[in-house]
Amino acid sequence: MYIDGEWRKARNGGVFEVTNPANGAVIGTVPAGGREDTLDAVAAATRAFATWSRLTAYQRSEFLYKAWTLMVERKEELAKTMTAEQGKPIRAARNEVQYGADFLLWYAEEAKRVYGETIPAPRSDQRFIVAKQPVGPVGAITPWNYPISMLTRKIGPALAAGCTIVLKPAEATPLCAVEMFRVFADAGIPKGVVNLVTALDPAPVGDVFLTDPRIRKLAFTGSTEIGKMIAARAAAQMKRVSLELGGHAPFLVFDDADPLHAARGASLVKFLNTGQACISPNRIFVHRSIAEPFTRELTARVEKMRAGDGMEENVAIGPLVDADAIAKVDRQVQDAVGKGAKLLCGGHRLISNGLDKGTFYAPTVLAEVRPDMLIYREETFGPVAPVITFETEEDALAMANDTHYGLASYIYTRDIGRAFRMFEGLRFGIVGINDINPTAAAAPFGGAKESGLGREGGHDGIAEYLETKLGGFSI
């Protein structure tokens, strides 16, 4: 762990193993931190906040620029660590490292753009000044599916704003976090500003974040269930929270769209990270008139996807995170088939050619999916593409919005009027219009409804770490 500028073991001496989900091999061990380690980290972050928050924006920016430079220099080794630990194909891992580095670069620049304002007062002897100040030490929890970019998406704006941070990475992917904190250490970021607590049991760490009054903000990416719990418990001390939670993204293909082009887009974004992405399409709605060519092209593309160890060439499908993920995906597939869905390809665990040592599921396409099936309602987080047909624009919009999630959504159409109607009508925080990658460090990322609170990325992202202070002067 990295606490107060030093690498250290857990106070209790405990460790836990990290395995490669592609083959089950142990690839490292890390400290099993707990409550006392977290309290040490919070104390360090609190001490450091007094000085870090007083640095100029230009000084904090220089540290972030240095970290960005080192991260780009170490791009290949970081990507290889990610592929070994998380399983995603090496090409996707490289893309994620670059995406993660973009947040450090963006917030190195955005640190210098935290502006205040003056407000005209109603009295001639009065002046109003508004300033932005850091909220204080931050507790952050990051997920296993994007173990580097989700880390920089929190640390970048926190440090730029003048906050210090204690971060707990996912139990499945602590090695990526360790390597990233080596970047921060080598960038010379002062001790106590960034702190890393690795833990096999997240509960004691989270309990400190939620109950210690020195932590003034929580930043979490993970399940809606845990996010709700965090929001409820954080309210006891009125802690600021930003929560990026689950998704159940609709992918709408209208009758004026090119079905082959749309199918290509669907295949790329649906099976991104083996479907283990909160913005992954979970319900693919296709106009009945073009459903046949769309489904045929999608199935042909999916059947060509090769599963295997992400270090190998031309692998498109990596392993799922664990055996529980396999069971969940298969339960949804079997439920759908049992209720009348057509299985066009996949639909089973992959065990041949040595894949039995890992947690692989065949990329799957289901047709004739209906609302009474589990996959229509539940987030899948796996490589399954369910296709549902519709007749009218109104039906498509109603079905897309029929979920308590509200993170990402996608539409394919050539009609500019329809594009605007869908953009305005879809109750999701992100809408990709003929665009399967509507994200960037400069753009706000976040959801509506039960998909979260707040935004990460862009100038909205740094605002999550700032308090607004009003000064009223009588002269």
Provide CB contacts within 8 A for 5, sequence distance 6+. 44, 185, 190, 191, 192
Based on DSSP, count helices (H) and strands (E) in the chain, helices before strands.
15, 22
Order across the sheet with 466-474: list the strands. Answer: 117-119, 126-134, 466-474
- CA-to-CA distance for 73 and 83, rounded, in angstroms? 18
What are 166-222's pLDDT values in tens digits? 999 999 999 999 999 999 999 999 999 999 999 999 999 999 999 999 999 999 999
- Domains in the chain: ranges and CATH: 2-245+449-474 (3.40.605.10), 249-433 (3.40.309.10)
pLDDT on residue 71? 98
* Tokens 């930043």 belong to residue: 219
What are 348-391's pLDDT values in tens digits? 999 998 999 999 999 999 999 999 999 999 999 999 999 999 99
What amino acid occupies position 224? T
What amino acid occupies position 398? A
Global pTM value: 0.96
Q: How far is CA 371 from CA 1, 187, 368, 378, 467, in A?
A: 46, 52, 10, 11, 44
The greatest distance separating any two alpha carbons of the chain, rounded to the nearest whole angstrom, comes to: 81
Stretch 26-34: mean pLDDT, rounded? Answer: 98
What are 308-325's pLDDT values in tens digits? 999 998 999 999 999 999
What amino acid occupies position 426? L
What are 95-130's pLDDT values in tens digits? 999 999 999 999 999 999 999 999 999 999 999 999
Count of Cβ atoms closer than 10 Å to residue 87 Cβ:
31
**Percent of the chain clearing pLDDT 90 (strictly above):** 99
- CA-to-CA distance for 136 and 428, rounded, in angstroms? 30
pLDDT on residue 313? 85
Is the per-residue pLDDT at 89 higher than 90? yes
pLDDT on residue 299? 98
Among 437, 390, 431, CA closest to 255: 390
DSSP assigned state of 340: T
- CA-to-CA distance for 82 and 98, rounded, in angstroms? 13
Distance of CA 390 to the CA centre of its chain: 30
Q: Which of 110, 179, 278, 393 is catalytic?
A: 278
Decide if 472 contacts 456 (C-beta within 8 A).
Answer: no
pLDDT on residue 196? 98
Give the number of C-alpha atoms closer than 13 A to the C-alpha of residue 254, restricted to the C-beta side: 22
pLDDT on residue 404? 96
Which band of pLDDT confidence, cut at 50, 70 and 90, is reported for residue 52?
Answer: very high
Is the per-residue pLDDT at 392 higher than 90? yes
Provide CB contacts within 8 A for 321, sequence distance 6+. 21, 86, 87, 144, 145, 172, 276, 359
Provide CB contacts within 8 A for 386, sequence distance 6+. 282, 283, 284, 336, 341, 366, 369, 373, 375, 376
User: Which DSSP string do the residues of 145-158 spell out, in sequence order?
Assistant: SSTTHHHHHHHHHH
Decide if 472 contacts 304 (C-beta within 8 A).
Answer: no
What are 412-468's pLDDT values in tens digits? 999 999 999 999 999 999 999 999 999 999 999 999 999 999 999 999 999 999 999
Stretch 276-290: mean pLDDT, rounded? Answer: 97
Q: Which of 96, 110, 244, 393 is catalytic?
A: 244
Decide if 364 contacts 333 (C-beta within 8 A).
Answer: yes
Put residue 189 in one of left, alpha, beta given phi > 0 → left and psi -120 to 50 → alpha. beta
**244 included as an active-site residue:** yes
Sign of CA dihedral 227, 229, 230, 235: positive
First to last CA, the chain: 52
> How confident is the prediction for the chain on average, in pLDDT?
97
Decide if 409 contacts 283 (C-beta within 8 A).
Answer: no
